[in-house]
Amino acid sequence: MALAQLLAPALANKLFAIDLQQRAVQATKKRLAAFLTPQDAEAVAVLHQCHSYFPAHLHPSTVKLIVYNLGYLPGGDKQVTTQADTTLTSLHAAVPLITPGGAISIVCYPGHSAGKQELLALTAWMEQLDNNVWSYCHHQWPSRPYSPQWLFLQRYTVGR
Q: Contact, 132 vs 93, CB < 8 A? A: no
Whole-Å CA distances, 53 to 50, 111, 131: 6, 26, 25
CATH code that applies to domain 57-160: 3.40.50.150
pLDDT band at 159 (very low <50, low <70, confident <90, very high): low
pLDDT digits (tens, 9 = 90+) for 48-105: 888 888 888 889 999 999 999 887 666 766 677 788 999 999 999 999 999 999 999 9
26-39 burial: b if 16+ Cβ within 10 Å, else e: ebbeeebeeebeee
Q: Is 100 helix (H, G, I), strand (E, B) or coil?
A: strand
List the chain domain ranges: 1-49, 57-160
Q: How far apart are CA 155 and CA 132, in angstroms?
A: 9
Residue 114, amino acid: A
pLDDT at 125: 97
Q: How far apart are CA 115 and CA 15, in angstroms?
A: 26
As a whole number, mean pLDDT of residues 110-132 equals 94
Q: Contact, 88 vs 120, CB < 8 A? A: no
